[in-house]
Amino acid sequence: MPNPNAVTSRSGTIVAMGEILVEIVATRVGQSFREPGTLIGPFASGAS
């Protein structure tokens, strides 16, 4: 059965598994995430 998440190209098949983890950062120190504010990112996280 073919994998629905696979991408086929002329050089073969690419299959990606796992999670995409990134960090989103507030622009102000002490900024609450319970109210609207400015965020920057995404930045690659150190998760493995």
The answer to whether 5 touches 16, Cβ cutoff 8 Å, is: yes
Other beta carbons less than 10 A from residue 45's beta carbon? 13
How far is the C-alpha of 12 from the C-alpha of 24, rounded, in Å? 34
pLDDT at position 16, please? 72
Over residues 18-34, the mean pLDDT reads 85
| pLDDT number for residue 40 | 93
Mean pLDDT of 9-32: 80
Q: What's residue 5's pLDDT?
A: 65
pTM of the model: 0.43
What percent helix, strand, coil does the chain show, rounded to 5?
Answer: 0, 35, 65
Residues 6+ apart with CB under 8 A from 47: 19, 21
CA atoms within 13 A on the CB side of 12: 2
